[in-house]
Structures are given as structure tokens and as C-alpha cells.
Amino acid sequence: MNRTLPFLLTFIVGFTIVIATFSPPLDRLAVDTAVFFSIIAVFAMILGGGNLVKINLVKITRRQRDWQFAIVTLVGFFFVLIIGLFKVGNPGGVTGQVDAPGTPFFDVYTYVFVPVGATMYSLLAFFIASASYRAFRAKNREATILLIAASIIMLGATPFGTMLTAWIPDSLDIFEVPNLHFFLMSSPNLAGQRAIMIGIALGVISYSLRVLLGVERSHIGKDGG
């Protein structure tokens, strides 16, 4: 039963969507499936929250490495959850807009979450600079091509590239960095991206068929193997 029921569900739902996609009269089925998917996705979010709490509680109780950070995570999680769910300090009460300006939820989001999130992503610039200084070497032919292409893309992605090669005469404008950047993006990159996309699509189709027909059962878990 552990194996048959998930397989049957996968088979029925999967083929329903495939058939509905290719037959307009059955379009309603696809729409309903999309609604079911949304409902299930909401439960997945609850599951995610529960999982976060469980993992961090275990970390704290067992005093695992960096367990103090788990406390910060849980305090932050429950604080935002409570002020968001119960709309604490919201002038509109429980029927008010959750992120109405001036509410604690708005303040936490705008003045804590947004800057912290942006900072985390921006830290990449520092690591990229450090790594490029220490490791980005023209060690062989492939690495040299990569290095040159990456440099052109980086220069072309900012006005610095335009400024650097503005002196090149019009008859040789193909060698201006913005034009080289455009060529790299719209020719070699395009060809590579298309090849990757087609490859992925073929792989997804074959894997999906294996799942729908029950050949591939790893998604069911260890009992399904």
C-alpha cells in the first residue's frame, strides 16, 4: 500500500495534467489541478516552518555547534510569525493589511529583513574579488578563453567598457567592448543556453515518463525504492 497508493496518485495526476494540456475541452481539469497544487503548496510551507523549528530545537537541546544562532533563528521566526499572524500594532486591527506602513511587521520587513537580505547577497562581491585575485588564472587554453570572455562580459556589463574602447575608430567598432559583449551574449551564449535547455527538456521528459509509469520511484522514499 505504501508503494501502490503514491504510484497511483502520481500516475493519475500526472497523466491528467498531460492530457488536459493537449486537449482544450479538458482545460478545466488543468485549472482545478493548479488549485489543488496551490493548496498542497500551502501545506508544504507549514511543513517547512515546522521543520525549521524542529531542526533548531534539536540543535539547541543537544548544544550542537553554533547552537546560539539557532536561538536567534527561532526568536526571529516566532516574533515575525506572531506580529504577522495577529497583526500586532496594526491600526486596521485583524482585518487590516498585514504590511501596512507603521506596523511592527512593516518595520521589521523594511528596516531589518530587506537590508539584511540585500547585504547577504552583496557579500558575494567581496568573495568574488578575493577569489579572482587568488584563483582566476590562465593556466591552460580553456581557462584563458574563460578568463577573456569573463573579462569582456564584466567590462561590457558596465559603462566602463564603453569608456575604455571609445577611442576605437568606427571602421573597427566590432572590437569595442559593448559590441564584443553583445556578440558573446547573443551568439556563443545563445547557442550554449539553447543546447542546455534542449538537453534539460529531453532529460525532464524522460525522467517524468519514468516517474509516471512507476519505473522511477525514488521520490516516494526508501519504501518506494
Near another protein by CB under 8 A: residue from 1, 46, 120, 215: 120
128 binds another protein (CB under 8 A): yes
Stretch near another protein under the rule CB under 8 A, chosen from 25-33, 54-62, 167-175, 216-224: 25-33
Residue closer to another protein by CB (options 4, 95) is 95
Q: Considering the complex, state which of residue 105 and residue 211 has its C-beta at the smaller distance from another protein.
A: 105
CB of 97 to another protein, least distance (A): 5
CB of 12 to another protein, least distance (A): 17
Footprint (CB under 8 A) of another protein, residues 32-71:
33-35, 37-38, 41-42, 44-45
Q: Give the separation between CA 183 and CA 152, rounded to whole angstroms.
A: 10
Instruction: Please list, in sequence order, all residues whose beta carbon lies within 8 angstroms of the beta carbon of residue 181, skipping any fewer than 6 positions away.
Output: 152, 153, 155, 156, 157, 161
Burial classification of residue 176, based on how many CB atoms lie within 10 Å of its CB (0-12 exposed, 13-18 middle, 19 or more buried):
buried
Q: Is 23 in the site for another protein (CB under 8 A)?
A: no
What number of other Cβ atoms are within 10 A of residue 131's Cβ?
10
Binding mask 152-191 for another protein (x = CB under 8 A): --xx-xxxx-xx--x-----------x---x--xx--xx-
Question: 139 vs 210, which CB is nearer to another protein?
Answer: 139
Contact 80, 111 (CB under 8 A): no
Q: Which stretch binds another protein (CB under 8 A): 3-11, 69-77, 192-200, 214-222?
A: 192-200
| Residue nearer to another protein on the CB measure, 197 or 202 | 197
203 binds another protein (CB under 8 A): no
Q: Distance of CA 72 to CAs 56, 62, 80, 83, 110, Å?
A: 10, 16, 12, 16, 19
Contact residues for another protein, defined by CB under 8 A: 27-28, 30-31, 33-35, 37-38, 41-42, 44-45, 95, 97, 99, 101, 109-110, 113-118, 120-122, 125-126, 128-130, 132-139, 147, 151, 154-155, 157-160, 162-163, 166, 178, 182, 185-186, 189-190, 193-194, 197
